[in-house]
Amino acid sequence: MTSPDSLPFPDGFLWGAATAAHQIEGNNVNANWWEMEHRPDSPVVEPSGDAADSYHRFEEDIRILAELGLNTYRFSIEWARIEPERGFVSRAELAHYRRMIEACLAHDVEPVVTLMHFTVPRWFERDGFWRAEDAPALFARYTETVLPILDGVRYVCTINEPNIAAMLAGGENAENLVAHGLPAPDLQVADQLLAAHQASRAVLARRPEILSGWTIATQAFHATGEPGSEEMLREYGYPRDFWYLENARGDDFLGVQAYTRTFIGPDGPLPVEEDVETTLTGWEFFPEAAELGLRSAWELSGHVPLMVTENGIATGDDTRRRAYVQGSLEGIHRAISDGIDVRGFQYWSLLDNYEWASGYRPTFGLVSWDPETFERTVKPSARWYGGIARANALPIEG
């Protein structure tokens, strides 16, 4: 029985943590990002290098997650490893990702598998990237390639944050993933990502036990209230956020990835105000983001089942991580109490991760690691979060 001073979550709620291949595995040498990181004029602060070496240490990482009390691990399969050259499939890499799925199952951990988390094979970029006419077909073919290793997997995320991917493809400062002043999306790429998502879903549908969907960065836009700000919010938000939620209609589920909010004035997005608490990514500390993302996704998708596939905070102060997650979970609980179908919560991230253009400085992890020895250290917030997962209930803090 849960005590009245805690908020119970639905039976079977998926409590987990998320990662992505390029951000933790290390040496993802056949991916387009690796190539870009090593260009002489690269805009990134540092290359990904060995990262957390989770490519070799995934069993330990899954064990840590399970021992914390979490029951789900969201991770990505790296297309650049599976198909390092166009048309060449590495059976050894397929076996590697099968071992990851089996390690999850052996620990009673539900694997939530992402097929594409920003990075693509070098050849795919060279051959026209998402703009190439056959890009959706190539992604569908890759989906077919991995289908045989997905035994025991229920949730498959086809494409991670296509809305951010379309903005990265469109922007001048393309590699910079920031919440304020996002570049205009490349609408051709957006259409191609949707076609790729749908083609991938059609392949995944051959296995009726698989639930597939894409995961969207919801951005909790707030109009300032000035004349013209509401109109600007719709104009700015539609091609960056709402369109993707609308296009999840009919999918098996929809992933919500929420971190902060963005104020929109009559001329567009505003920088974070000076006097608010910010995180190591420079974003406003705003734990209500998850609840707002769920509400918006629920409405715009026409009530597709949801999962918070990412939510978290980059901070060096672990007590702020706990406060952030507490706030997020209270909001998610409110959404569930209002009848929104939320299947789970995946904290971003299990491990301190390579944060793209920002390198290793922003620390999102529940677990840190030594850059020389790769030894893992569990942070106190991780143990606290694991306790919530075990209880399937969130203590109310006064």
Q: Residues interacting with ligand NOJ, by CB under 6 A? A: 20, 23, 160-161, 177, 257, 310, 348, 353, 355
Q: What's the token pair of residue 108?
A: 């009673």
Least distance CB 132 / ligand NOJ (angstroms): 23
If the CB atoms of residues 232 and 258 are measured against ligand NOJ, the closer one turns out to be 258
Alpha-carbon span 34 to 28, nearest angstrom: 7
Alpha-carbon span 146 to 95, nearest angstrom: 10
- Concatenate the DSSP letters of all residues of 141-176 into one string: HHHHHHGGG-TT--EEEEEE-HHHHHHHHH-TTTT-
Q: Which of 37, 93, 161, 310 is catalytic?
A: 161
Least distance CB 119 / ligand NOJ (angstroms): 10
If the CB atoms of residues 25 and 310 are measured against ligand NOJ, the closer one turns out to be 310
If the CB atoms of residues 139 and 347 are measured against ligand NOJ, the closer one turns out to be 347
If the CB atoms of residues 20 and 51 are measured against ligand NOJ, the closer one turns out to be 20
- Concatenate the DSSP letters of all residues of 345-359 into one string: EEEE-SB----GGGT
Q: What's the token pair of residue 205?
A: 């549908």
Q: Read off the DSSP letter of residue 397.
A: P
Q: Is there a catalytic annotation at residue 110? A: no
Using DSSP, state whether 385 is helix, strand or coil: helix
Spatial CA neighbour of 46 closest among 365, 374, 357, 369: 357
- At what angle are helices 135-146 and 187-204 packed, to 10 degrees? 30
Least distance CB 283 / ligand NOJ (angstroms): 9
Least distance CB 360 / ligand NOJ (angstroms): 11
**Active-site residue set:** 161
